[in-house]
Amino acid sequence: MPELPEVETVVRGLAQRVAGDVIQSVWLGEKPQTFKSPPPVIAATLEGARIRSVRRMGKHIVFDLEHNSRGAAHWIVHLGMTGRMLVSPPEAGLEKHTHAIARLASGRELRFVDPRRFGRLSVVQDFTTVGVEPLEISFEQFAPLFRKRNTPIKSALLNQKLLRGVGNIYADESLFRAAIRPRRRAASLSRTELRRLYNAVRQVLRKAIAAGGSSISDYVDVEGAPGSFHFQHHVYGRAGEPCLRCRALIKRIVVAGRGTHYCPKCQK
Ligand SMILES: [Zn+2]
Segment 3-50, tens digit of pLDDT: 999 999 999 999 999 999 999 999 999 999 999 999 999 999 999 999
Over residues 55-87, the pLDDT tens digits come to 999 999 999 999 887 788 999 999 999 999 999
Q: Catalytic pick from 36, 258, 264, 265?
A: 258
Rounded to 5°, angle at Cα 17 from 137 and 69: 90
Active-site residue 133, yes or no? Answer: no
CA of 51 to the centre of ligand 1 (A): 47
Active site residue 52: no
**Distance from the alpha carbon of residue 266 to the mean position of ligand 1, in angstroms:** 4
Known catalytic membership, residue 247? no
CA–CA separation, 264 vs 176, rounded Å? 10
C-beta contacts of 252-256 below 8 A and 24+ residues apart? 253/182, 253/183, 255/152, 255/154, 255/155, 255/182, 255/183, 256/151, 256/152, 256/154, 256/155, 256/158
pLDDT (0 to 100) of residue 177: 98
Q: Are 89 and 108 in contact (CB under 8 A)?
A: yes
Is the dihedral angle over the CA atoms 207, 211, 99, 75 positive or is it negative? positive
- Looking at residue 131, the DSSP 8-state letter turns out to be S
Active site (annotated) includes residue 31 = no
Q: How far is the CA of 134 from the centre of ligand 1 (A)?
A: 26
125, with CB counted inside 10 A (0-12, 13-18, 19+), is: exposed
- In this prediction, residue 218 carries a pLDDT of 60
- What is the phi/psi pair of residue 22, to 5°? -115, 135
Model confidence pLDDT, tens digit, residues 163-214: 999 999 999 999 999 999 999 999 999 999 999 999 999 999 999 999 988 8
Q: Which of 3, 6, 8, 109 is catalytic?
A: 3
Tell which residue, 231, 267, 219, 243, has the closest CA to residue 4.
219
